[in-house]
Amino acid sequence: MEANYDKLYSELRNTKSELLDRINKNTSSSAVQTIIKEEIQDIELALSKIITGHYGRCELSGELIPIEVLEIIPTIKTLNDMEDLNHFFRKPIYL
């Protein structure tokens, strides 16, 4: 695991734990439960990529995703996702 990703790895594990607690309490609607489960799957994928050394690369092109973007959205998968997100913000998340 790269040293740059140690903090992200820890944060992802903590977030996964919090989301699992939320599911186990079963206080959310089924629609929210579905969203939480999807987020857990994204987190598990990101964690496995960190472990295997494939984290931080676009799933389509293989190019590096800027660390600044990964720190904001650690489960981002492609550079296209990053560009799509920029349409929702008044200022780009990454220049």
Distance CA 55, CA 71 (A): 12
pTM over 0.85: no
pLDDT per residue as tens digits for the range 26-76: 888 889 999 999 999 999 999 999 999 999 999 999 999 999 889 989 999
Q: What is the pLDDT of residue 83?
A: 78
Alpha-helical (H) ranges within 1-95 are 6-25, 30-52, 67-72, 79-86
Judging by beta carbons within 10 Å of its beta carbon (0-12, 13-18, 19+), is residue 43 exposed, middle or buried?
buried
